Amino acid sequence: MLFYDSASPAPNPRRVRIFLAEKHVRVPMAQVSIPKAEHKAAAYLAVNPHGQTPALAFDDGRVLTESVAICRYFEALHPDPPLFGQGALNIAEVDMWTRRVEMRLMTPLGLVWQHTHPWTARIVKPQYTEFGETQRPRVLAAMAEFDHALSGGSWLDGVRYTIADIVLLTTIDFATFVGIPVPGELDNLTDWHRRASARPSAQA
């Protein structure tokens, strides 16, 4: 197999790198440069026609192209430590939190990124800058929601570090890159970010 990776600040490939680091699993990797638009070049589009990273290509020609799906594959192969939850209810809770990060935080953040950031101007045509700016309050509102959710425990599911925390960490760090850092008054989210960033896997 071959994992097609892109360096930070790309949040989605980083999710998989952190996940693999938590599992102590190594796989062959190939770098796809987003600043050089290699993800839109013909060679990579032959792997993933959507022109996005990450992708996990298998020797038989099959390809997985979504970060959480790739992590689920490795969870099935390497179940310890469990990063998708344990037991029916906890697994559902982890899925719930992962979806909330993706839908409530990453979706408006992605729109800010696509429509206001100079890096995306050569790919997103036209950029609707005014629309992109309207999404910033949604990003901040979502951060406040996660701050409240973290008031009752160290991690999102209230039990242990999971894929939901990995998705939140990479999204929060990407938000800082885009220019929307966590507001200083969100103490719970700030403390959570400090804990998550202190894990060795966060450097992956």
CATH of region 87-203: 1.20.1050.10
Domain 2-77 identical in fold to domain 87-203: no
pLDDT tens digits along 6-21: 999 999 999 999 999 9
Query: pTM, whole model, 2 decimals?
Result: 0.96
Class of 2-77 per CATH?
alpha beta
Edge-to-edge strands of the sheet including 55-57?
Answer: 29-31, 2-5, 55-57, 63-64
Please provide the distance, in angstroms rounded to a whole number, between the alpha carbons at the two ends of the chain. Answer: 19
pLDDT at 119 over 90: no
How far is 39 from 37, CA to CA, in rounded Å? 5
Average pLDDT score, the chain: 96
pLDDT tens digits along 34-60: 989 899 999 999 999 999 999 999 999
Strands 55-57 and 29-31: unpaired
Could you state, in order of their start, the residue ranges of all structural domains in the chain? 2-77, 87-203
